[in-house]
Amino acid sequence: MKTLISSKHFWLTFCFISFISSFIIIQNVNGQSFKDDKSFKDLDDLLNLTVVGNGYSDQTIVLFLPGATEGFDSEYDAYKLTGIYAAPQLYSIIPCCNLAVNVLPPPIPTDYWVQMGFDVGAETTYTISATGMNSFDTGVTIHLLDIRDNILIDLKTDSVYTFTASPDDYSSRFRVYFNLASQLLNVKVNLEGPYNGTNMSTKLRSVGYIPTNQPYNVSPWNYFGTESSEALPDIVDWVLVEFRDAVNASSATSGTMIERRAAHLMKNGRCIVEFSNSYSNNLFIVIRHRNHLPILSNYPVFNTNGVYSYDFSVDVGQAYGGASAQKFLGLIVYGMIGGDANADGYIDSDDYTNVWSLETGESGYLPSDVTLDGQANNKDKDDVWVENEGESSQLP
């Protein structure tokens, strides 16, 4: 196996410029195809993913290389060029753009993940195949997470994954995890404020107000985790997830909490969270947000296909407290109740007097902005707070 060090920077840059310039269109099927380049294939820490389906194929690469950064590097990375509609499209997603070649800095951290984008033009069966696993050290683990179907695949032992997909699927369906040491929770939950009838608005992200560091290190949460991440295009906001070890939901009080983690909530309601602590009874989860009432899972969370999962959105009874804990958002969709601007567990005059009235007319990452559009205005008061005044947290 060839080992490359930083002193070879000129050669590496030349190799990448040569490689990227060798992209060609094959049968006008995909945006890019990869030419046989022996020097490129000899690189360490290179994962090559190929998707085949509907009579077409596409390919993307994730590589760890000295000199690269997590942002876009013109001398290493390559933009994703979208192919014809009928062909599957597989790529990496970073905050600025979509990439066909995503080069990242070593060493590979624990629980490191890369968000993949996947789009198709037809509802049919597709197969993702992984090659290049032998280019990584034997101790490096590589997993593919199918967020939609809640399946975790160890690519080093099962390098081919077959599944169904349709044009209506969410683009951010897959993640690649390197050195996964934690357990994964795949939870689905909606926030009333930004919900638009189909999914949740990502306006906070588009105007640049979502902070890089998790925001729950202040009262009343006082969570001092170090979670930090640039918001990807489909991110709504940060949420705080609590893990509780209890016999049943009614006994899952704050005293049963075993761990907390902050994570990004995606516009389709999905939130992927890593956690590490074990439990002895049953595992319950609490979802908290800055200005929505918290909710607790009414049923235990179980591990299926390597991933713990729970969906609050499909039924009001999925939350402990039922109709008092979640709100009907339309089309058999339920979500967390908005308007608790001071996060004290009650939607009352304090939220209006001590928060909204002091911030109205302002823009930013505001507690009073319950619609999460970056502004404190009458929509927050009239459409959310007024409708929900008198509601309260149902946590035991």
Among 76, 78, 60, which residue's Cα sits nearest to residue 68? Answer: 76
Look at residue 41 in the predicted model and tell me its pLDDT: 60
Look at residue 212 in the predicted model and tell me its pLDDT: 96
Which of 9-13, 121-125, 301-305: highest mean pLDDT? 121-125
Q: Is the pLDDT of residue 319 over 80?
A: yes
Residue owning tokens 């599944």: 163
Look at residue 26 in the predicted model and tell me its pLDDT: 33
Task: Report helix, strand and coil shares of the chain as percent, to nearest 5.
Answer: 15, 35, 50
Cβ neighbours of residue 77 closer than 8 Å, sequence gap 6 or more? 68, 99, 101, 102, 103
Q: Is the pLDDT of residue 232 over 90?
A: no
CB contact at 8 A, 258 and 244: yes
- pTM, 2 dp: 0.86
Look at residue 310 in the predicted model and tell me its pLDDT: 98
Residue owning tokens 């947000």: 289
Banded model confidence at residue 382, pLDDT cuts 50, 70, 90: very high
Tell me the torsion sign for CA atoms 250, 251, 252, 254.
Answer: positive
Banded model confidence at residue 5, pLDDT cuts 50, 70, 90: very low
**β 302-304/270-275 pair status:** unpaired
